[in-house]
């Protein structure tokens, strides 16, 4: 990482419009992104080091360098993690999944749809695709597979291989559908506001992602069903299994009722934000407070949530680094240089080429966050400077990075969770990932762009 920093600062020519401290800040940022990709140390540690160095070498005061930890977007993510803890701790998330399976789980395709729609519902408030899939969806996938004697290896094709691939591809779509669908989505929204003065709210992202997202959710499981067909097509036992599990859970207890009320209240306040103009973080923090006051969550649950505090460290640091990089003029200089190189191309062709490069570049990333940070600001800056509609650019690059994670078995946090169960070979995973990527690109470019035009995004 030190070599990357020294190479940028000492070897690469500094644009005349960028001050020396701004160029050093860019070197620190580039080295941090490399650390997030290569993982020589944990991501939170890398970002904390970067923020500290930015206050020493990057021209930032210590107050400004650590200013990202006071950003409301960072606290939105934290509060949503606490609410997701309550959903899983009380068993409400599992109850929702079992209800879906009991209703539409009479076929293997129906089970896939049921678990996928569970993730759609949970993604509206749980910003960790790892928590949703690892804590709720994946255990049920494994239970249903084992119910039919489908284990890794010789019997994987009975039903397990299909469910693993179908559900995984679906959770990559749900990550694109909501601002809370994945931990770095609020970061994209924050960058859209600070760098391009384009406000993105929970509601505007929900409306933008609804139609193309639901189209993908309807089509993709069926496509995977054709590409990786299960030998067992009828699954009445799965619906019976869900019914038995629900009977054993009994009626909704006090904790589940409180979490349901908080869940609905927070989502309702997000949807009605044009009426009351509360910052999106306020309802989430109020919901977390309600869970603490009622005892559904203990303070030990909050301080013991290692994933949430890890995200707080790297997310808050990256928010401020991104703002400072833009203020230093780095993004503008990149856009100006690339724009000059493609001076004869219109924005439509540039958008098509840029989205293709941006999307399939995810083969080189093990993190949606690293992908967004490395490529979202410069690519968006180039296109906006060439006259592309800002809203179209913002939502394209924000959403496409999420379902690009379906390409590989390491594209986002849940990828290794699903792949490690051993139901799907490496070749199968990458083949299905590539073919599904084409389907998603067609749907979001055709249906999505048309829908965005109709609702005035561009």
Q: Which two tokens stand for residue 49?
A: 């080091």
Query: Any idea which of 30-39, 103-112, 143-152, 235-244 has the lowest mean pLDDT?
Result: 30-39
Cβ(220)–Cβ(439) under 8 Å?
Answer: yes
231: helix, strand or coil = coil
Q: For the segment 177-206, what is each residue's pLDDT rounded down to a tens digit?
A: 999 998 889 989 988 998 899 999 999 999
Between 341 and 347, where is the model more confident? 347
Q: Please give the average per-residue pLDDT across 210-222, as a whole number.
A: 97
Query: Is the confidence at residue 258, as pLDDT, over 80?
Result: yes
How many helices (H) and strands (E) in the chain?
Answer: 25, 0
Contact 415, 172 (CB under 8 A): no
Q: Is the pLDDT of residue 134 over 80?
A: no
Dist CA 344 CA 302 (whole Å): 54
The predicted structure's pLDDT at residue 136: 80
403 or 366, which is more confident: 403
Residue 390: enclosing H or E segment and its boundaries? helix 390-403
How much of the chain exceeds pLDDT 90, in percent? 45
Contact 292, 299 (CB under 8 A): yes
Cα–Cα distance list, 57 to 4, 18, 44, 93, 205 (Å): 15, 15, 20, 46, 37
Average pLDDT over residues 107-118: 93
| pLDDT over threshold 70, residue 341 | no
Say what the pLDDT of residue 253 is.
94
Q: What is the mean pLDDT of the chain?
A: 89
Sign of torsion, CA 72 78 81 86? negative
What predicted TM-score, i.e. pTM, was given to this entire model? Answer: 0.81
Summarize pLDDT for 167-176 with one digit per residue, the tens: 999 999 999 9
What DSSP assignment string belongs to 281-313? HHHHHHHHHHHHHTTSS-HHHHHT-HHHHHHHH
What is the per-residue pLDDT across 20-49, written as a single tens digit (0 to 9) for each? Answer: 998 999 899 889 888 877 778 888 898 899
Query: CA torsion 218→221→226→232, rounded to 10°?
Result: -120
Measuring CA to CA, which residue among 232, 246, 209 is closest to residue 97?
A: 246
Nearest to 401 by CA among 364, 429, 447: 364
Band the pLDDT of 340: cuts 50, 70, 90. low
* Confidence check: pLDDT of 222 > 80: yes
Say what the pLDDT of residue 88 is. 83
pLDDT at 366 over 80: no
DSSP character for 445?
I
pLDDT of residue 116: 92
Query: What pLDDT is stored for residue 308 in this prediction?
Result: 83
Distance CA 410, CA 12 (A): 32
Q: CA-CA distance, 129 to 80, in Å (whole number)? A: 12
Check pLDDT > 90 for residue 4.
Answer: no
pLDDT of residue 160: 94
Cα-based distances in Å from 253 to 92, 297, 386? 9, 14, 56
Over residues 277-335, the pLDDT tens digits come to: 888 789 889 999 999 999 999 999 999 988 788 888 887 888 788 778 878 887 677 76
């Amino acid at each position: 990482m030190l070599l990357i920093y020294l190479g940028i600062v000492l070897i690469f020519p500094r644009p005349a419009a960028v001050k020396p401290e701004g160029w050093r800040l860019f070197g620190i940022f580039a080295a941090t992104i490399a650390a997030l990709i290569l993982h020589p140390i944990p991501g939170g540690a890398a970002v904390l080091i970067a923020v500290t160095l930015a206050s020493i070498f990057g021209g930032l005061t210590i107050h400004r360098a650590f200013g990202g930890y006071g950003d409301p977007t960072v606290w939105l993510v934290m509060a949503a993690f606490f609410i997701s803890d309550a959903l899983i701790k009380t068993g409400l998330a599992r109850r929702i999944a079992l209800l879906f399976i009991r209703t539409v789980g009479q076929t293997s395709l129906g089970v896939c749809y049921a678990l996928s729609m569970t993730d759609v519902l949970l993604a509206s408030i749980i910003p960790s695709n790892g928590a949703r899939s690892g804590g709720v969806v994946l255990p049920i996938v494994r239970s249903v597979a084992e119910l039919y004697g489908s284990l890794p290896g010789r019997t994987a094709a009975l039903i397990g291989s299909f469910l693993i691939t179908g559900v995984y591809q679906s959770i990559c779509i749900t990550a694109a559908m909501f601002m809370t669908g994945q931990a770095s989505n609020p970061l994209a929204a924050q960058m859209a506001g600070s760098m391009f003065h384009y406000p993105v709210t929970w509601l505007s992202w929900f409306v933008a992602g609804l139609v193309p997202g639901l189209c993908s959710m309807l089509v993709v499981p069926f496509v995977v069903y054709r590409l990786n067909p299960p030998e067992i097509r009828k699954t009445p036992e799965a619906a019976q299994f869900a019914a038995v599990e629900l009977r054993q859970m009994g009626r909704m207890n006090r904790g589940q009722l409180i979490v349901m009320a908080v869940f609905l209240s927070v989502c309702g306040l997000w949807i009605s934000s044009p009426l009351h103009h509360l910052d999106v973080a306020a309802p989430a923090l109020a919901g977390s407070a309600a869970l603490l006051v009622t005892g559904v969550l203990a303070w030990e649950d909050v301080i013991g949530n290692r994933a949430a505090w890890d995200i707080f460290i790297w997310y808050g640091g990256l928010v401020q680094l991104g703002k400072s990089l833009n203020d230093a003029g780095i993004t503008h200089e990149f856009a100006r240089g690339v724009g000059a190189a493609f001076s004869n191309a219109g924005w439509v062709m540039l958008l098509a080429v840029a989205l293709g490069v941006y999307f399939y570049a995810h083969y080189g990333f093990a993190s949606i966050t690293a992908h967004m940070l490395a490529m979202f600001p410069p690519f968006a800056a180039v296109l906006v400077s060439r006259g592309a509609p800002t809203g179209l650019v913002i939502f394209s690059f924000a959403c496409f990075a999420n379902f690009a994670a379906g390409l590989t078995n390491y594209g986002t946090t849940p990828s290794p969770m699903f792949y490690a169960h051993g139901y799907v070979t490496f070749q199968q995973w990458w083949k299905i990932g590539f073919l599904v990527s084409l389907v998603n690109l067609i749907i979001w470019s055709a249906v999505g762009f048309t829908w965005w035009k109709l609702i005035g995004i561009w």
